[in-house]
Structure 1
Amino acid sequence: MKKIYFIMALGLATLSGCSDFLDQNNKSNVPSAEFYQTSAGFASLTNSAYSTLRELYNAQPQLFVAGTDLYADGKSQGVVMSQYTFTADEGIIKNFYVSCFKGIQLANSVISYGDITEDSSVRLQYVDEARFIRAWYYFQLVQQFGPVALNKQMFDHAEMSHERASLADVYKFIIEEFEYLASSESHLMERANSGVGRANKRAATFYLAKTYLTRGWLDGTDYEAQEENIAQNSDFANAAKYALEAINGEIPFLSIEEAFDVENEENNEIFWSIQFNSAAVEDPVKDGSYQQAQFGAYLGGSEKPRNKAIDGCFAPSLRLQQMYSRGDARLEQTFMLEFHTSYFDYYSAPTSSSIIYYYAPAWATDEDIAAWKADDPYGIKKNTLVSKTIADGGIAPSNGAPATYKDRRSQDYGNACIKKFDDYSETSIANRNSTCSMHDVVVARLGETYLIAAEAYLKMGKTEEAAQMINKLRQRPGTIRKGYTTEMTVTSNDINIDFILDERARELAGEYVRWTDLKRTHTLVEYATKYNEDGIKESAMIGPDGKYKILRPIPQAAIDLNQAKVTQNPGY
């Protein structure tokens, strides 16, 4: 049987193990090389490439959110990625690196077999979907690790030597791939026909805009002086151009709550999402998304069967909740401010289950809280404990005593959870586990596209156009509270990078973008050391070589196995 191999030095293992993975849908006795040359086998291989995407979201999102300004330790204290104490031997980093190259090699396999498999109406479409997946993985890698080896072919032997490409070449490859995939020449489907689960032209246009935006910041200034200066004069203009193409004149017409509703996952807000389905995973208890289990206080164990499982690694920071003004109704659509007798009663028994905790917004006065309590047509707020979202003196729900916000983060029920990723299906509730959610993970959507355009316009000096993008985004239903249109309207004078990052925090809270947002905009060290509530020291972000840790280390195991000379990233 012909075997498809991981890149030994990069994937850290041959694909003899992955060959078993690829064989999962080959129920016949036909050897894989022959099976993948059939229409059914080629579809199975393509599905295998898609299935690798779930690996990045079936794990804690440490590389995406740890060590930033928006999230800090929950009940689990001393998360290694949060304090920048990790080394090149850190397993979390190695697993991410391996998963990305595994996905790339499977995508390369689809592309390779696409030349020899029997023809069908979807053959070229599947090849281009694999090219999308490969480019997407490289975009993840280059943001985290900088330059990496560019591998564009399937390996049927253990290849041991892989030199890192230049940063310029990696970005050039990603941009050229997404440019083709977004064009009329590609065989990707339009978003209207693809659904949210298959790579499509609109998603390709979104990532083309975001890749241009990211490269535009790599100008050799600030902390990025440690990286190659590869920015081109047209990058921000291209980012804005393709963002507008992806927007296609649409104003968001779903509220945040509606756009992320687990029962409404095929909606026009979403360009592309990573699919989770109990029929597609081996174990619905362990193989689901980890996103629901993040960003909140611990809510008890098995003794609380209708509370969602929170792993306790990341709690929303006070800073994040303070970013929402009185007029911004995205707060209550993003956070579970009203905690019923059981967490999921919010969905199943909203008018009959008592509200036992109310996490009052950061802007709420005593008069606001009194008005909230008085508005009680169902009599479910009579015994509610109010926990103010303030730095000092808020009541801890676990014991009814005053405590700092920082202390409450590590206490049971200490602060409001992000709710927009909730899988409130009875099946998921019954499976109760940190990885039981079958809620798809949204990775490309309309709301962020407006923010990409706004950031690109800012960098072009077009602050009026940037403000227009924000104001159009805020036309989303449920964003502006009644009577606060003026306060929520942005002018060009409001626009700077801090405002853009704050708006990204408000719109994209809990979505896995914050670390790369800060890294991209040259604000990682400033924001992490100034705002992280666990007290990140600047010295911890500087390595023994005196360089900042604005990239992740190349896993030491990958360097050791690679016969090519690999220079470790600065800071390690």
Structure 2
Amino acid sequence: MNMKKILSTLALSSLVLLSAGCSDLLEEENHSNVMQDFMSTPSGFGMALNSVYANVRSTYSAEEGIHGLMNPGTDELKNNVGGSNRCADLANYDLEKYNANNEYPRKLWNDAYVHINTLNYMIENAGKVDVTTSALTAAQRDQYLGEAYFMRAYNYFHLVEQFGDVTLTTTYNAAPSTSAERHDMVRVYEEVIVPDLLNAVRLCSPSPQLNNLESGRASAAAARHLLSRVYLTLGWVFDKDPANPIYKGNTQTKYYNTAKAKEYYQKAYDMATGLISDAPSLGLKLMDNYADVFDEANDAPSGKNKEELFVARMDWDDDNTFGGRSTLNHYFVNGYDQYLGERNINDGRCYSWINPTGYTYNAFDNRDKDTRYEATFQTVWYATKTQKGGVVNYVIDGKDESFNWDYTVVGDTAMYYPGYYMSAEEIRAKTQHREGNHYLIFTPDAYNGRAIFPTIMKFLDRTRAIPNDNTDRSYIIYRLGETYLLAAEAAFKLGDNINAAKYINVVRERARNKQTTEAGALDIAPGDVTLDFILEERTRELLAEHCRWADLARTGTLIDRVRKYDDGKAYENITEDRHWLRPIPQQMIDRVTTGEPYPQNPNW
């Protein structure tokens, strides 16, 4: 059945949407008989799963979605330093305003448990669904079951990443409940997340490129990738030595066990390298050029991006009936409109919520050889109308410099962000004595953390009808490029720098400028591999792709690297006493009124 039709049907039926529309597991209205009767039918079984996929879209499309939890407040990205927005309190670790009532952790928590409940029913009752008619075959039922296992693991993984110990339930909650308890996070990993992903590997279609699997559905390849990340995370869980001051306040130090750590690092390495080895037979490969990964022409559901492993489809609601489009195309856009005099389709809507730190710009080194800087950051803006202009001032070499600007030619250069130092004399020579526009050059000396910074282009949508439109571009959640870096990190933790360098070099070779350099020009040696280098390589490859906070939390470097590299407000506020974990939503704590109070995370 067509995914969009399924989601439309679900949205039009309030009874069917109980699992997707309920705001809290503990106070769910008891429509259990209607819900269970429907989900146990051949059509209802598939629709229940697709209500869960609708939430994947919401996770990556909503302003209060996962972008605020994963991108700002890290070493890579900071919140706009000049103003407030919905993720400011969270991103800045505001010691008063960022609390257990924050909407970002609350949305993740509530959405996860609502859909875990639906998935629990599917997994418990799959064997009872009628597969004797053409409405649902046994093979389709098994594929859906595999996807349900994947999605339950996916949701629980987000929960333990962000909150640590959480409530573990694998049975369908058919009636309201006012009691709950938190369970050890390792138990959640070992009893649900890992077994569920192994079941997904067994039951799902092998690859998003095979068996005509509809784009956006989970495959065994996606499960293998996620399982590698899960194993790697577990390795780090058991590898945090309480004697190491970098882990001060980190609750994971209680698990310290080097033998267990090595066991999980090996599993992570084997899972990632197995997927890499099998990729050609699965129709998967790295895209030839880094920029191709984010080319709109290759977006799902085109099937052209062979690197995609799992995507959040936005185009299922391409008529915007249910508000399903994404605001992701706005967050990283600079304030170009104050100079061009208007917004335009090509350059995006100027939210300017989040922008890079100095560390991030510096991490993109070797720019003459590595194409990832120019594929990630916008460098040129063109005039869309004439402007009288004025004067821009910023400090270069300790001196306040002034630059005149005006636009007389539409379509000529209006702004240029070279990404490197230029003297005031060099800037004037390029801009003041030419025919056409006297355009603006903003070097890193001008970046102000507010409106002047280079736009991150990965998520721009140049097919929108008007400049302020949200995007219907699908979002890549997991891709093969990261699989190589997971393999490299696992190898490094096993003391195998030869293979760590090998897998990093595959990613770097893809990024190499093929027009100006010879093969191997970006290769590193085994001795170059350190944890810092791996994290920097992840910045170059995965900037803004919703994984950085988790990367730093996994490796136990969150507090240290935010304090070292953030140049916004986060470094002043982040504390090891509180910020290793997110706060349990106060709404959850308040609704547990029977039995023991629901525990909050330390110092929240």
Query: Is TM (by shorter chain) over 0.5?
Result: yes
Shift of 1:429: 3.6
SS at match of 1:48: helix
* Counterpart-to-counterpart distance in 2, 1:32 and 1:555: 27
Structure 2 counterparts to residues 331-480 of structure 1, below 5 A: 331-341=373-383, 353-362=411-420, 383-388=438-443, 390=444, 392=445, 394=446, 405=447, 407=448, 409-411=449-451, 414-425=452-463, 428-430=464-466, 432-433=468-469, 436-476=470-510
Q: Work out whether 1:482 is the aligned partner of 2:516.
A: yes
Aligned partners of 2:76 and 2:359 also within 8 Å: yes
Aligned residue number for residue 361 of structure 2? 321
Q: Work out whether 1:139 is the aligned partner of 2:142.
A: no
Match for 2:41 among 28, 33, 38? 38
Aligned residue number for residue 74 of structure 2? 68
* Counterpart-to-counterpart distance in 1, 2:172 and 2:59: 22
Change (3 A) 1:511 1:492: same
Which sections of structure 1, spanning at least 5 residues, go unmatched? 20-29, 344-351, 374-378, 395-404
Q: TM-score, length-normalised on structure 1?
A: 0.83
* Counterpart-to-counterpart distance in 1, 2:559 and 2:499: 29
* Counterpart-to-counterpart distance in 2, 1:420 and 1:68: 19
SS at match of 1:417: coil
AA of the residue aligned to 1:247: I
Match for 1:209 among 228, 243, 248? 228
Q: Work out whether 1:95 is the aligned partner of 2:131.
A: no
Shift of 1:210: 0.2
Aligned partners of 1:453 and 1:469 also within 8 Å: yes
Shift of 1:321: 1.8
Q: Work out whether 1:49 is the aligned partner of 2:86.
A: no
Shift of 1:521: 0.8
CA displacement 1:177-232 (0-9 Å, x = unmatched):
112222xx324443322254110000000001000001111134224742341662
Match for 1:552 among 582, 585, 588? 582
Change (3 A) 1:506 1:15: farther
Corresponding pairs, count: 522
Q: TM-score, length-normalised on structure 2?
A: 0.79
Aligned residue number for residue 226 of structure 1? 251
Shift of 1:83: 2.0
Q: Which segment is superposed worse, 127-136 or 60-69?
A: 60-69
Aligned partners of 2:57 and 2:313 also within 8 Å: yes
Q: Work out whether 1:273 is the aligned partner of 2:311.
A: yes
* Counterpart-to-counterpart distance in 2, 1:133 and 1:342: 45
CA displacement 1:427-457 (0-9 Å, x = unmatched):
x242724xx1111111110111111011111
Aligned residue number for residue 397 of structure 1? none
* Counterpart-to-counterpart distance in 2, 1:382 and 1:299: 16
* Counterpart-to-counterpart distance in 2, 1:133 and 1:462: 33
Aligned residue number for residue 84 of structure 1? 93
Shift of 1:487: 5.2
* Counterpart-to-counterpart distance in 1, 2:429 and 2:509: 27
Q: Work out whether 1:304 is the aligned partner of 2:363.
A: no
Aligned partners of 1:11 and 1:558 also within 8 Å: no
* Counterpart-to-counterpart distance in 1, 2:194 and 2:435: 54
Change (3 A) 1:381 1:422: farther
Aligned partners of 2:358 and 2:565 also within 8 Å: no
What root-mean-square deviation, in Å, do the aligned CA atoms of Structure 1 and Structure 2 show?
3.3
* Counterpart-to-counterpart distance in 2, 1:305 and 1:13: 45
Shift of 1:165: 1.5
Q: Work out whether 1:192 is the aligned partner of 2:217.
A: no
Change (3 A) 1:554 1:353: same
Change (3 A) 1:492 1:249: farther
Change (3 A) 1:282 1:338: closer
SS at match of 1:296: coil
CA displacement 1:62-111 (0-9 Å, x = unmatched):
11112111112225347101221211122222122111212212222333
* Counterpart-to-counterpart distance in 2, 1:316 and 1:16: 47
CA displacement 1:149-197 (0-9 Å, x = unmatched):
1121222211332221212111112112112222xx3244433222541
Shift of 1:296: 3.1
Change (3 A) 1:303 1:421: same
* Counterpart-to-counterpart distance in 2, 1:317 and 1:253: 28
Aligned residue number for residue 260 of structure 1? 294
Which sections of structure 2, spanning at least 5 residues, go unmatched? 1-14, 242-246, 280-284, 386-409
Structure 2 counterparts to residues 482-561 of structure 1, below 5 A: 482-483=516-517, 488-537=522-571, 540-542=574-576, 547-561=577-591
CA displacement 1:227-279 (0-9 Å, x = unmatched):
34166231111111111122226562332221122221221111111111153
